[in-house]
């Protein structure tokens, strides 16, 4: 089932924008994670994968979405992460009304999610690891094209511009940044080993 690819990420990472670009290709059919699907057995893919020339996928944003380790052996994986400053700014901007009330809960989610992404990446036989800066600079897209063996139209897309925000909780940013730096360092080294074979 190499024509199924999980986009493993966290909220406000750029993975949703990546999926929009992927779905511009008629061979791609990626879900955006809204359905909150749980992949607890490989058989759940049977009704999804019905055309050999298509690439199917789903966005995984929560730890419980992918509990079955058997997927690591035969699926493709693209991991997308983003530093906390931009992530929290977008969360704050999108949540507006309840952002101050929920920001600490979101910070916990972000840090635990980074850890889980690293755990998954370590177990995956092959995968591609990207961050927001890779997507914004378009450096990521040739790698995605090669990994999925498709062509993408990404030159028109300007969705990776950071938006101004009034979020200024430096304590939370510093706390989350410690996790990001640690896990990002691990993922960069892991990615280099994968790219070098």
State pLDDT tens for residues 31-84: 998 889 999 999 998 877 666 678 999 999 999 999 999 999 889 999 999 999
Cβ burial of 71 (10 Å; 0-12, 13-18, 19+) is buried
Distance CA 181, CA 121 (A): 16
Q: Do residues 151 and 85 make contact, with C-beta atoms less than 8 angstroms apart?
A: no
Q: Which pLDDT score is estimated for 156?
A: 67
Task: Kindly state the average pLDDT of the residues 158-162.
Answer: 73
Least reliable range by pLDDT among 52-61, 103-112, 122-131, 167-176: 167-176
Residue 196, pLDDT above cutoff 90:
no
Mean pLDDT of all residues in the chain?
87
Percent of the chain with pLDDT over 90: 61
CA pair distance 135, 131, nearest whole angstrom: 7
Average pLDDT score over residue span 139-161: 86
In our burial notation (b when 16+ CB lie closer than 10 A, e otherwise), range 146-158 reads: ebbeeebebeebe
| Entry pTM | 0.91
Contact at 8 Å (CB) between 6 and 72? Answer: no
**What is the model's pLDDT at position 189?**
82
- Tell me what pLDDT residue 197 has: 44
Q: How far is it, in rounded angstroms, from Cα 142 to Cα 134?
A: 11
**Alpha helices by DSSP H, 49-169:** 71-74, 84-95, 99-123, 132-136, 140-148
């Amino acid at each position: 089932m190499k024509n199924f690819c999980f986009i493993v990420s966290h909220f406000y990472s750029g993975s949703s924008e990546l999926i929009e670009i992927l779905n511009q290709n008629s061979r791609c059919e990626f879900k955006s994670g809204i359905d909150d699907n749980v992949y607890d057995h490989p058989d759940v893919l049977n009704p999804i994968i019905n055309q050999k020339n298509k690439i199917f996928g789903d966005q995984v944003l929560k730890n419980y979405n992918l509990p079955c380790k058997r997927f690591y052996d035969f699926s493709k994986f693209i991991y997308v992460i983003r530093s906390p400053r931009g992530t929290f700014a977008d969360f704050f901007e999108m949540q507006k009304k309840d952002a101050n009330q929920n920001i600490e809960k979101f910070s916990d989610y972000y840090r635990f999610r980074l850890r889980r992404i690293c755990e998954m990446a370590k177990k995956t036989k092959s995968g591609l690891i990207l961050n927001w800066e890779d997507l914004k600079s378009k450096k990521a897209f040739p790698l995605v094209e090669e990994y999925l063996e498709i062509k993408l139209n990404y030159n028109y897309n300007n969705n990776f511009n950071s938006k101004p925000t009034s979020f200024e909780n430096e304590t939370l940013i510093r706390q989350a940044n410690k996790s990001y730096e640690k896990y990002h360092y691990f993922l960069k080294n892991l990615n280099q080993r994968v790219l070098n074979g």
